[in-house]
A = this chain, B = another copy of it.
Amino acid sequence: MQQKTSRRTNRERSDTTRAAILDAARGLFVSRGYADTSTPDIVSAAGLTRGALYHHFEDKKALFRAVAEREATAVAAAIEQATAKGLTAREALKVGARAYFDAMNHPGRIRLLLLDGPAVLGKHEMMAIDAANAQRTLEEGIAEAMAPAAVAPEKLAALASLLSAAFDRAALDIADGASTELYAETIGTLIDRMVST
């Protein structure tokens, strides 16, 4: 007779239960949406109780934020990996867009990051979450690609914001069944036309 699963360090305990809660929450947030997911459902799916949830997370919203952050960093990592090679700025933009579409194609990311996220956490907090991630990279890429055109920096920022919105919409449409090829191509011409002097 072994001692069940005893003798676990506190760090181990916390890590496994945190992960269990995050995984269960992610699944339910994705399938039912944030509002229609109850904390009893989450902890039940994780095989725990609400005590564990409220010990590790301040409230339900903080749990959602943790889920969204984990997802956003995963997307950012995918983009960074795809654009790491030595590409021209313009090509990096196109490749990055394609990588973004693929990353957002993972089930649930659309809902977490583009639908529920802004409504639950607010526009600004949501922007902050992936500002540290994707947005900054995009803005730098655009600035670099448009360097020869000598555009005012404020206009560059506006353009970056608009392009980023187009990326998001493309991901949404693709998740809705639209062709990834079609949108990658359309985004490509959009970039070419904007970047050309």
Contact = CB atoms under 8 A, between A and B. Distances in A.
A147 interface: no
Contacts of A163: 166
Contacts of A123: 115, 172, 176
Interface in A174-197: 176, 178-179, 182-183, 185-187, 189-190, 193-194, 196
A185 B158 CA distance: 10
Contacts of A186: 155, 158-159, 162
A12 interface: no
A109 to B, nearest CB: 14
A116 interface: yes
Interface of A: 33-35, 115-116, 118-120, 123, 154-155, 158-159, 161-166, 168-170, 172-173, 176, 178-179, 182-183, 185-187, 189-190, 193-194, 196
22 contacts: A34-B119, A35-B35, A35-B119, A115-B118, A115-B123, A118-B119, A123-B176, A154-B179, A154-B182, A155-B182, A155-B185, A158-B178, A158-B182, A158-B186, A161-B170, A161-B173, A162-B170, A163-B166, A165-B169, A193-B193, A193-B194, A193-B196
A18 to B, nearest CB: 25
Say how many copies of this protein the assembly contains: 2
A94 B111 CA distance: 31
Contacts of A187: 162
